[in-house]
Structure 1
């Protein structure tokens, strides 16, 4: 499943950037994250790893992810290296916009289990759209306050 959502935010890319990857900020805007901790001393940049627990439909989902792309104040990509998916990538991009910045989230997810995985993605797709909208609205509120 691939999904792309954008929002315009009245702030500079430099002020928006730390809201996206710093632990304390992420916990404020991500509606599903229950726990989040970096693994090791590296907290940003390519190679930084983190452990995350999210809750969806009453179930806890655990994963270990790694930052695989990093261009400060522009974009970064997170790839799941351990968890319930076959492929899970999330990319955040920031572009200049008329009154500030445009933030875009890209999701690229492939579930295991062949046809069963496809059915699972289809069932979850509405939730992902709603979650993406909520995440973007939360980030906008934090950035513009």
Structure 2
């Protein structure tokens, strides 16, 4: 009798200490509950999780600056500048985020604000080219160009490199340029590779044998200390455009004076 009671007490204690079975996927089978929970994703892993970068860029807007057409840029801004990320001060964006951000910020470098001025010169095409071809003579009609110094022995054609000291108001800097296009009596193109970067081109077109259309186009990128994109917009569209219009009047006067002799 005593042994029977002890056996019942032992079975009852065993039932209390054993967790209730969990019904498995197969009917009639029982499995024990998991002894540990799945590992949680760390906050650092969440911070570095890739963000979808399938943003498509819309058509170019004013002055050729490209803007995102959907909310991907907002997602990037939230990921990079959220209060939690800024409070930590040490979170790093994932490579995919960096690529997407770089693609959006580089749109300014690829599509810089353009400046275009043009004039009609009362001189034949050959006369105008004779004045424009000597790069060293550009200081004769460019008010903002103080001096030109060649780099190397080359003076004409593609590959010619030179330093042009430029002064606009209180700002004075050395503009390093390299000729990238040279079509006799048609076009002269340059690349700016110094403090100010970008590209420019002179194009000439004969109108009636006695008049020539001369067009000056530039796309410039200003450094941050000259205002960056805002400086390119204000300085280019308002300041440089006016200076270059006056430069073309000086060029026209020089060409027309040369044509009369």
Match of 1:100 in 2: 211
Match of 1:51 in 2: 163
Structure with the higher fraction of residues in helix conformation: 2
**Partner SS, residue 84 of structure 1:** coil
Take 2:130 and 2:249, find their aligned partners in 1: how far apart are those partners? 16
Structure with the higher fraction of residues in strand conformation: 1
Moved over 6 A (4+): none
Match of 1:121 in 2: 232
Identify which range, 132-141 or 116-125, moves more after superposition.
Answer: 116-125
Cα distance, 1:92 vs structure 2: 0.2
> How many positions carry a matched residue from both structures?
141
Larger Rg: 2
Contact 1:8/1:103 (8 A) holds in 2: yes
Q: TM-score, normalised by structure 2?
A: 0.51
Say yes or no: does 1:70 pair with 2:182: yes
Deviations 1:86-125 (A, max 9, x none): x321200000113421000011112344xx4111122312
Take 1:134 and 1:89, find their aligned partners in 2: how far apart are those partners? 20
Deviations 1:38-91 (A, max 9, x none): 22221110000111101112121112110000101100101112x222x32120
Q: TM-score, normalised by structure 1?
A: 0.89
Take 1:46 and 1:94, find their aligned partners in 2: how far apart are those partners? 17
Q: Which runs of 5+ in 2 are unaligned?
A: 1-112
Q: 1:29 aligns with which of 121, 131, 141?
A: 141
Instruction: Report 1 or 2 for greater relative contact order, CA contacts < 8 Å, sequence distance ≥ 6.
Output: 1
Match of 2:172 in 1: 60
Contact 1:23/1:37 (8 A) holds in 2: no
Take 1:137 and 1:75, find their aligned partners in 2: how far apart are those partners? 19
**Partner SS, residue 73 of structure 1:** coil
Give the root-mean-square deviation of aligned CA atoms.
1.5
Say yes or no: does 1:4 pair with 2:122: no
